[in-house]
Amino acid sequence: MPERVASTAAGDWAPSAVQRDRDEWRRRRTLRSAAIAAASTLLLLGALAGAVVSSPGWDRVRETYFSWDKAVSSFPAVLDGLWLNIRVMAICWVLILVLSLTVAVVRTLRGPVAFPLRLLGTAYVDIFRGLPLLLVIFLLGFGGPALRLQGLPTSPLFWGGTALVLSYSAYVAEVFRSGIESVHPSQRLAGRSLGLSYGQTLRHVVLPQAWRRVIPALMNDLVSLQKDSGLIAVLGVYDAIRRAQIETSLDFNYTPYVVAGALFCCLTIPMARLTDRYARKKGYHGAGGHL
């Protein structure tokens, strides 16, 4: 029996009885799966909430970490500090993309003449991938202003951002390099056979393909940068974490830290979900699809 039959009245295709039965069965199955998932989730969350609330120290924990009055009073200051984190993240991300792409291109140059450049790029990546980010922030954030270099500001915000750019560029450069080297050599040969120079081939043939392949990895690095931008608080910069620290020092109530964490999650979680959705849509391996 065919699954679709023609409607003689309107001339449009209409589902057959078998197809309607299948659609109804799928609908019921979807509803049943959603109901089971919701029930199991509520049961698990209820059990966890009950265990936490019934614990002996819950009242003290609630007063110290989840005080509604403290959250309301500290929210404006923490939010104002978060705006600084957002600006730092946006500016640093642009600089990271430029520097890391430059390093990646340098490391993929061919020929003995480019060996010093490749060596310099490799040394940069190895050093800054080997150093902890917090250590780089300390080195530049405290040491940079003390040098009083002519033409460079002494602001801890500047040096903290510089540390973020230098550290993250080393990681993102490897992401770009993997994307560039994943492009088949025949693409380069095809570009050169059409009369394009090496730079034109890289710009018009290789980099567009490499960019599309590394977008999920770049988005993950952006999520990490959103969080790590809070590390500049160790330099005394008045960002969200520093503002929360000041609010906490007034009465030793740690609710402002929870507020700051919640605001950071409001930034990072949507970006993480967007990254997963994009990866699944493009069919990247490990995200519900295949290369």
Q: What region, left, alpha or beta, does residue 100 occupy, with left being phi > 0 and alpha being psi -120 to 50 degrees?
A: alpha
* Mean pLDDT in residue range 232-236: 88
Residue 243 is predicted with a pLDDT of 92
CATH of domain 74-282: 1.10.3720.10
What is the residue-averaged pLDDT of the chain? 86
What is the rounded distance in angstroms from the CA atom of residue 79 to the CA atom of residue 84?
Answer: 9
Predicted confidence at residue 11, as pLDDT, reads: 56
Give residue 287's pLDDT band: very low, low, confident or very high (50, 70, 90): very low
| pLDDT score, position 283 | 66
Percent of the chain with pLDDT over 70: 93
- 235-283 pLDDT, tens digit per residue, is 888 888 999 999 999 888 999 999 999 999 888 888 888 877 877 776 6
Average pLDDT over residues 50-56: 84
Statement: residue 162 has pLDDT above 70: yes
What whole-number distance in Å separates Cα of residue 75 and Cα of residue 78? 5
pLDDT in tens, 126-154: 999 999 999 999 999 998 888 888 888 88
Lowest model confidence (mean pLDDT) among 77-81, 87-91, 205-209: 205-209
Confidence band, pLDDT 50/70/90 cuts, at residue 184: confident
String of b and e for 183-196 (b: at least 16 CB within 10 Å)? beeeebeebeeeeb
55 has a pLDDT exceeding 90: no
pLDDT of amino acid 284: 60
Task: At 14, give phi and psi (nearest 5°).
Answer: -125, 145
What is the per-residue pLDDT for 136? 94
pLDDT at 10 over 70: no
What's the pLDDT at 272? 80
Boundaries of every domain in the chain: 1-9+16-49, 74-282
- pLDDT value at 103 more than 70: yes
**Residue 288 confidence (pLDDT):** 41
